Amino acid sequence: MAHEVEHAALNRYLESKGLKQTRQREAILEVFLEAVGHVTSEELFQRVRESHPSIGYTTVYRTMKLLCEAGLAHERNFEGGVTRYEIPHDHHDHLVCVRCGKIIEFECQMIESAQEDIAKRYHFQILRHRHELYGHCDACRKGG
């Protein structure tokens, strides 16, 4: 089985909550880990159905909530109200095209440093932050 570390982490989390591991949860985790970028629960459901047609949307949705609680997925709510999920990795920010929905991840040490300087100036301790820039991607600007 691919992604053994993630499957073991899910098993530990479920056990700590008195929940059982199921083949459906295993399948959903595997499909999620193979996904690229930021997927909605609907997109994930469609991918899961390709190999596991008996798994319903509610099961996918609830499993994604469990994966978030277990730290194996991050829930993102970008402008437009659609929840998307991504695999946790190093901190990054997002450029979001409001026309086509494309999401570009980026890292910028200058922004990170500026945030730290501002927090220091105002004697503020940052616990977390989200940086999202909304606009039009290159393809949308050229196409329309």
Mean pLDDT across 1-17: 84
**pTM > 0.75: yes or no:** no
Report the pLDDT value the prediction gives residue 67, as an integer from 0 to 100: 93
Mean pLDDT across 23-47: 90
Quick one: pLDDT band at residue 132, thresholds 50, 70, 90? confident
Is 80 exceeded by the pLDDT of residue 58?
Answer: yes
Mean pLDDT across 2-9: 82
Is 70 exceeded by the pLDDT of residue 74?
Answer: yes
CB 103 within 8 A of CB 65: no
- Which sign does the torsion angle of CA 132, 138, 141, 144 carry? negative
5 Cβ neighbours under 8 A, 6+ residues apart? none
Residue-wise pLDDT for 77-111, tens only, equals 876 677 888 887 667 788 888 888 888 878 888 88
The closest alpha carbon to 88, from 38, 14, 19, 24, belongs to: 38
Q: Which domains does the chain have, with CATH numbers?
A: 4-86 (1.10.10.10), 93-143 (3.30.1490.190)
Any idea what DSSP says for residue 28? Answer: H
- Name residue 39's beta-bridge partners: 85
Any idea what DSSP says for residue 122? Answer: T
Q: β-strand 93-97 against 132-135: which pairing, if any? A: parallel
